[in-house]
Amino acid sequence: MTLTEQILPLEQFERQLRLLIVILMMTAILVPLTKLDFSDFRPDLSAAEAQFTDLQAAAAQMQEQAAAENICNALNRALSEKQVPCHVLDVSLHIQPDGCISISEVTVEGNLLTGSVFLREWLGTDIIISEGGAPDAADG
């Protein structure tokens, strides 16, 4: 820019010369940049997607555990109200994508026969009701 000002010392063309030099400099900078291959600079999203999938699975598992615990507590309250000598230990369930909860198995201890009658009435007949809990002291 100084060289052009020395060659053409006319002040009336100073603005046009500065504009021309700025355009030339920008062209000199931008042309090499447009030829760069930026595909090497893209982040690897597969690791982030895997972490997101893992987080989704962990969240779904925690949601199922919380739902199973709440259902277990509600069933135990209902059995206590009916004075059934049975206690629900575990509920196996799956939460479907549409939000529906499917209970597949209920593990109980105590009077399995009477408990099964009430549980099947409340939960349906297609649910597996199994006996669980600690073995009796007389067994071992």
Write out pLDDT tens, residues 51-63. 888 888 888 888 8
Contacts of residue 79, Cβ cutoff 8 Å, sequence gap at least 6: 86, 87, 88, 115, 118
Tally Cβ neighbours within 10 Å of residue 68: 19
The kind and range of the H/E element at 75 are helix 45-81
pTM metric for this prediction:
0.57
Instruction: Band the pLDDT of 31: cuts 50, 70, 90.
Output: confident
What is the average pLDDT across 27-49? 72
- Work out the average pLDDT over 28-37: 75
| Chain position carrying tokens 């355009």 | 23
